[in-house]
């Protein structure tokens, strides 16, 4: 499934998937690289693929791959509550037609 989405968006696209852990709400420790996604098998498989970068949110972490992924993740590292987290920039890039 992930490969099909990658083929559809092409090499210049950025693939973003939620990898929510809900660690904070469950009172659990969170490790940005190792805490598994709690929102499904596809999300967890994507999170663990080479070249995928997680942003730094704990409960509402996103993982990004390819074109703009690393740049967006660097911006989210500055402040996990800031509007520069990965979702607002991705929404800005969405086509309108």
Does the pTM surpass 0.85? The reply is: no
Whole-number pLDDT of residue 56: 67
Per-residue pLDDT of 39-93, as tens digits, reads 999 999 999 998 888 876 666 788 888 656 555 555 554 555 554 455 544 545 4
* Residues facing 65 on adjacent strands: 15, 52
Q: Are 16 and 86 in contact (CB under 8 A)?
A: yes
Per-residue pLDDT of 26-38, as tens digits, reads 888 888 889 999 9
Spatial separation of the C-alpha atoms in residues 55 and 93, rounded to whole Å? 18
Per-residue pLDDT of 16-28, as tens digits, reads 888 888 888 888 8
* R_g of the chain computed on alpha carbons: 13
């Amino acid at each position: 499934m992930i490969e099909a989405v990658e083929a559809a968006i092409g090499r210049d696209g950025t693939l973003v998937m939620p990898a929510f852990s809900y660690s904070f709400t469950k009172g659990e420790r969170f490790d940005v690289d190792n805490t598994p996604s709690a929102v499904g098998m596809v999300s967890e498989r994507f999170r663990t693929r080479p070249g995928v970068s997680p942003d730094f949110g704990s409960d509402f972490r996103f993982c990004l791959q390819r074109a703009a992924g690393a740049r967006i993740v660097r911006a989210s590292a500055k402040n996990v509550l800031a509007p520069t987290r990965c979702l607002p920039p991705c929404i800005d890039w969405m086509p309108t037609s």
